Structure 1
Amino acid sequence: MTTTASPAAPAPTPRTVLVTGGSRGIGRGIAERMAASGHRVAATYRSGGVPEGVLGVQADVTDGEQVEAAFARVEAELGPVEVLVANAGITRDTLLMRMTDEDWDAVLATNLTGAFRLARRAARPMVRARFGRLVFISSVVGQLGSAGQVNYAASKSGLVGLARSVARELGSRGITANVVAPGFVETDMTAELGEETVQKYAAQIPLGRLGAVDDVAAAVEFLASDAAGYVTGALLPVDGGLGMGH
């Protein structure tokens, strides 16, 4: 009996990718994975640095002029941005009755308004090229809610409405817009929680463990790929089942 070997998967088309918040954690992991796959990758940061082989661009997504300057530099050095990963985010956690207007405004300005500003700027060349991938990094908290995170949950939930509206507006131009919603992921921040707290979180997760940064990066890589050309307006949970049904 003879068998026929399956055809090899085609190599990914190299794209120009911009990842915001690429100095640490999930953003850094996404930048590393995309660069390792042969893409031309730039990453913004406010402090620290970016992975080797990635073009580092210092920028604050709450500042429109800095966003414009970041895109201009990436376009000059790597070409028009074909894949945008809006990952930059902050937290200012406290209970509702203690949350100040500044706590609210700062988180919404970075996590939601920053993503809007990035998508608006990225869309112009994507429309001309009739191709684009917009990927917004949300959180399971955006669907489940979380005590002490009214501002963060609202900002991350808002990304879903943003992405789906953009998907409807720009789909006819070959542009997709999707959301990845990580759950509890092993990063520098979760490492500071302590083993007992981590185990408590893990017990709530059907897969029984925290996620790895590369779990999220792999989902982003798929949504950015040619293989995901018919996927838009989707919310892709990467949370071990924690938020299923939402």
Structure 2
Amino acid sequence: MTPADDHEEPLLYTFFVRSPKKHTLFLSLTLSVIAVILFLPSIIENQFPIDTLVASDKTIAMLLFLLRHPHLLLFFYGITLLCSASMLLATVMLLSIVLWVRNQHTFILTLFLTLLTGEGAMLIGKIFFRRQRPDLLFHAVSETTFSFPSGHATTAAAFFGFLAYVLLRTKQTKTTRVIGLLIAILLILLLDMSRLYLGVHYLSDVIAGNLIGLAALLFAIGITEHRIAVKKIRIPDLPIADIALVLLAETIVILGIVLLFVPPWL
């Protein structure tokens, strides 16, 4: 064995330089989105005067406040619970068990890498920007952390984006993949809207959160695809009913909370 054989190439070198060509798209997208996030404050400041941006955010917040309806408040309260900390933890644990039972061990790593990366970046953003939330008058639910970026929007893009990736990566019919992708996008948009409608975030908060969640997802996908290619991992079949049952269980719990407990704004 030669000395060169004993030398192990650095992980970053093997990841960025020796990755299979078919994974270049994932790596490029990841780096592009991360770059956008890093330079987002400068881009916003140069393209939109800060006074204009703040005024737009506040105008939208006021408009949604004036358009509030009790039934819509309940609906969006249920939607926002989808990505609450306790609900997310329970759902992730249940989904991890399902993936483990179905021998989808690779995707468990992807799931946790996506969420941990996204949540970590989001928390750093909150500490760095320290943006205050909309006026308490607008709040339909209680929130105590900083506003920018939105944690719920970050989680929504990361988690539902992950589910869409799993459907696209496993053996599914074309119809299932298309419907699954559309449902994931719809849930992300509904989650974003819930944070605005409940008066706890500005539009720029949720957009930034989505970007962070997307960047975390693409980063995790890039690592996953590289690992699959290098280790020649075979992806077992995953019945769509498994994911549907996990989401159904979460939905039933949320319906129980919404229907049986007094809403926080009453």
- TM-score when normalising by structure 2: 0.31
Please identify the structure whose Cα radius of gyration is greater: 2
Name the structure where strand makes up a greater proportion of residues: 1
TM, length-normalised to structure 1: 0.33
**More helix by proportion, 1 or 2?**
2
